[in-house]
Amino acid sequence: MWIGGNWVEAESGKTYPVYNPATELEVAQVPLGGKADVDKAVAAARKALPKWSTKSQAERSQLVLKLATLLRESAKEIGELDTLEHGTPAKRAVFLAADTPGWFEWAAYSAKSLMGHTLPASPETLIYLQREPVGVVAIITPWNLPLLMIFQKLGPALALGNTCVIKPPSINSLTALKLAEIIEKLELPPGTVNVITGPGGTVGEALAAHHDVDMVAFTGSSETGKAIMSLASGTVKRLQLELGGKNPAIILDDADVNAAANAMAKQQTNNSGQICGSPGRFYVHEKVYDEFLEKFTVAMKKFVMGDPLDPKTELGPLVSAQHRDRVEGYIQSAIDEGAKVILGGKRPTTPPMNKGYYVLPTIITGITPKMKVAREEIFGPVACFMQPFKSDEEVIALANDNVYGLTSWVWTTDMARGMRFANQIQAGTVGLGQGRGGGGPEFPWGGFKESGIGKEGSLYGMLEFTNLKRIAVDLVTPKKSV
Ligand code: NDP
């Protein structure tokens, strides 16, 4: 682990294995961090805070930009690690490693462009507003996109003068350790960034509850998000929570069915379905239901599943045996509750996929609103088709009938109709047709309801990592009499 600018073992001296999900073989042992390591890392981050936060914005932004350059230079190596520990198909892994440092560039430039405000008070008073770093930020992230999830938080946190303790996902922590190796080259004040590996139940909880952590920036499941809210309440920490989704994809009767089927199949299988913003519930108008389902099925069958190291592979394994069991459990629950699996639903048996945690692209139909697969996030290559709908009012109510509110799609060729949907859907993002809004640092991303609190990306995401201070200056303070 990397604490206070030093490479250290866990205080316990223990390690745990990391496995390759495509081969089931162990690829590394990493330190099993615990509460004592968290205390050391938080103390290091606290000590670094005055040195890092008082550097000029120009110097901090320069260093953050340099980090983006160093990361791009290591993109091949980072991509290989992502393939090894996460099963990301090689071509995509290298693309992600080269593309995602853009988050640091965005943060470096937008931190430089933050401006202050003055408020009208009286001729005798000047009131101005100042943005300051929040302080020590704990960054706790999930395994589904191991580096991007860190970059989205680390970029703004660092650029704006905070110091950080990163707790990467325990099953995918090699890329985060590589990131620390790269950050080491920047020679930041020791402790500005720290990385602790280990389980959420100990390292994550200790960070969320720690009296000297000022903010928790978290991406993960809503269940863990709620636990973090409760742990963080003891010291009223700032929270940024990017949580789960069960995202409605609505296909109206005037949609371009072909375009919708192809685009949605791609979304469904992106990262083997392990994306918070994947479609979670398909609602298709009864007039185009059969046509859409047929085209969507054809598109789902086309993806090449295989060894992530093979450049032709588009679909890799799921991240772990435990997660595969969970996805299979959802498929079984759908069958038990009366839904029908019309594609996939099984593990592939042809080599090399007879090893590794693969699940074939799957389509389930005949789902009703109360079924488990209609309500909970599956996080796999599993498309859930709800029963066909008849009217706009009916489908808006169905789409909103869920605890999540992350993202959504409405496919129509009538933009006025689409905009009526956009106004009524309860989600942080509504994509009308192809225009999903896209990812990327310049766009805000974040959920409504149990999908989270706060935004990532854009100026809104930057401001999460600042405290706003009001400073009132009395311009006519009487002079001290001598
Ligand atoms: P988890 O919530 O299980 O874990 C996320 C992180 O929290 C991991 O580092 C985990 O550690 C840690 N953690 C686990 N328990 C605790 C705890 N009690 N206290 C503090 N930290 C804890 O999520 P997954 O890793 O399974 O990721 C999948 C989830 O992430 C999905 O729900 C998905 O929707 C969501 N997600 C949301 C995104 C968004 O932008 N809204 C983007 C990407 C994913 P460990 O690894 O050791 O378990």
Name the architecture of domain 247-432.
Answer: 3-Layer(aba) Sandwich (3.40)
Q: What is the mean pLDDT of the chain?
A: 96
Q: In what order do the strands lie in the sheet with 2-3?
A: 6-7, 2-3, 193-195, 163-167, 136-140, 215-219, 238-242, 452-453
Tokens of 349: 């048996």
Q: Name residues contacting ligand 1 (CB within 6 A).
A: 140-144, 167, 169-170, 199-201, 204-205, 208, 219-221, 224, 227-228, 242-245, 276, 377, 379, 406, 447, 452
The whole-number pLDDT of residue 480 equals: 74
319-343 tens-digit pLDDT: 999 999 999 999 999 999 999 999 9
**Average pLDDT, integer, range 261-282:** 96
User: Does a cis peptide bond (omega within 30 degrees of 0) precede residue 352?
Assistant: yes
Proportion of the chain above pLDDT 90, given as a percent: 96
The whole-number pLDDT of residue 439 equals: 76
Q: Tell me the torsion sign for CA atoms 77, 267, 337, 371.
A: positive
**Average pLDDT, integer, range 201-218:** 98
**Average pLDDT, integer, range 272-299:** 97
* 138 within 8 A of 38, measured Cβ to Cβ: no
Q: Tell me the torsion sign for CA atoms 329, 335, 340, 344.
A: positive
Sorting pLDDT into bands at 50, 70 and 90, what band is 435? Answer: low
Sorting pLDDT into bands at 50, 70 and 90, what band is 436? Answer: low
H-helix or E-strand spanning residue 225: helix 222-232
Task: Give distance in angstroms: CA of 248 to centre of ligand 1.
Answer: 22
Task: Give distance in angstroms: CA of 204 to centre of ligand 1.
Answer: 10
The whole-number pLDDT of residue 403 equals: 98
> DSSP H helical segments within 11-145, as ranges?
35-53, 57-73, 75-86, 90-99, 102-112
The whole-number pLDDT of residue 153 equals: 98
Domain ranges of the chain: 2-243+451-470, 247-432
Q: Mutate which of 143, 224, 237 to test ligand 1's pocket (most atoms within 8 Å of Cβ)?
A: 224
Tokens of 298: 């054809």
* 182 within 8 A of 217, measured Cβ to Cβ: no
**Average pLDDT, integer, range 170-189:** 97
The DSSP symbol for 382 reads: E
Nearest CA to ligand 1 atom 10: 200
| Catalytic hit among 205, 242, 314, 450 | 242
**Average pLDDT, integer, range 122-141:** 96
Distance CA 223, CA 249 (A): 24
Residue 276 catalytic?
yes
**Average pLDDT, integer, range 284-306:** 97
The whole-number pLDDT of residue 437 equals: 55
- Tell me the CATH class for 2-243+451-470: alpha beta
Q: Mutate which of 219, 228, 404 to test ligand 1's pocket (most atoms within 8 Å of Cβ)?
A: 219
351-403 tens-digit pLDDT: 999 999 999 999 999 999 999 999 999 999 999 999 999 999 999 999 999 99
* Residue with token string 């205390």: 39
Task: Give distance in angstroms: CA of 221 to centre of ligand 1.
Answer: 5
